[in-house]
Amino acid sequence: MNSAFGGAQHMADEIKYEYKTVQTVRGTDGLVISKMQKDGWEFIEQSHGTLRSTLNFRRPKKPLPWPLIGAGAAGFVILAIIIGTATALSHGDEKKDEAAKPAAATSEKPSAAPTPSVSESAAVEVITPENSSEFAALLKTDTCDDANADFATKHEGRTIAFNGSIVDMTPHGDYDTRYDVLLGPGDKGPDTTVGPAFKYEDVNIAELRLTDKDVPATVGVGDKFRFVAEVGDFDAVQCLFHLDPISTETR
C-alpha cells in the first residue's frame, strides 16, 4: 500500500511544462522577458532576425489534484486503477509537450512562430503604424492636435516603433555631451511639417542605444532611424510629445 502510494506521489511531483514563443521588435527583448518572468515564465533561449527577435519560454503546468484514497483492499484496487489511468494520461501529455516545444530548440529559424496578438499584454506588443490605425493617423496629425494628448494619456508607458528622422538636436543646459533631441516621422529631418514633435530630453548618445552592423559614433540633424521608444506625456503648452528611447536602428 505504501509503495503504491509512494509511486503515485512521485508521479504527481514530476514537473511538466507548457511552452510559449513570442516575437518582439529588436531592442525590446528585455522588457518582454521581464514581463513574462513576472507572469511565471522561464526564459529558455533567443534567436535574432533582421528586425525581430524570437523568445522562447516555459513554465510548470499546474499539478492535477489526486483523489483521496480510502484504506483497505477496495481502496488499494481504486488506487491501482487511478495510477494506471494517470500513467496513460501522463504519457499522452509528454507526447503533446514534445510536439508543442518551440521549433527553435532544433532550428535557428523557428517555423510558423506566432506573432503577439492585440489581446496579449501591453508590455509584449509594440505599437507600430502597421498594427495600429490610431498610431498611423497620429503620425500624420499636427504637432498641437488633441490627438497627441489623447494618445499619450491612453498609451503612456507602452512601447512604440516608427521610421523617423532627427528634426533638431541641441545641448541640454550647460552640458556638451547631453542633448534634447527632436524627432519627426518620415525622412525629412528639419523640413518635417507633419506629425507629432517627439522629444528625447536630456539624453547622451549611448542612451539612444544605436543598433546596426555599422553603428555611427554620433548622430545629427537629418539622420534617419527606426525609433523604438516608451510613450511619455504630452506638453500641450509647447506641443511636445515626450518619449524615452529604447533602441535606435540606422536605416
DSSP annotation of 189 reads G
Nearest to 66, CA basis, from 102, 114, 14: 14
User: pLDDT value at position 121?
Assistant: 42
User: pLDDT value at position 115?
Assistant: 45
Check whether domain 133-250 has CATH 2.40.50, yes or no: yes
User: pLDDT value at position 32?
Assistant: 78
User: pLDDT value at position 2?
Assistant: 54
User: pLDDT value at position 35?
Assistant: 81
User: pLDDT value at position 80?
Assistant: 46
Can you tell me the distance from the alpha carbon of 237 to that of 217, in angstroms, rounded to the nearest whole number?
34
Which residue ranges does the chain devote to CATH 2.40.50? 133-250
User: pLDDT value at position 47?
Assistant: 80
User: pLDDT value at position 26?
Assistant: 60
Tens of pLDDT along the chain (251 residues) come to 555 545 545 555 577 888 888 877 666 677 778 788 888 889 998 887 655 678 888 888 876 554 443 444 444 444 444 445 445 454 555 555 555 555 444 444 444 444 443 333 444 589 999 999 999 999 999 999 999 999 999 999 999 999 999 999 999 988 889 999 999 999 999 999 999 999 999 999 999 999 988 888 889 999 999 999 999 999 999 999 999 999 999 98
Cβ–Cβ < 8 Å for 242, 148:
no
User: pLDDT value at position 10?
Assistant: 53
Read off the amino acid at residue 123. A
Q: Residue 212 phi/psi, 5° resolution?
A: 160, 175
Nearest to 82, CA basis, from 18, 8, 30, 137: 8
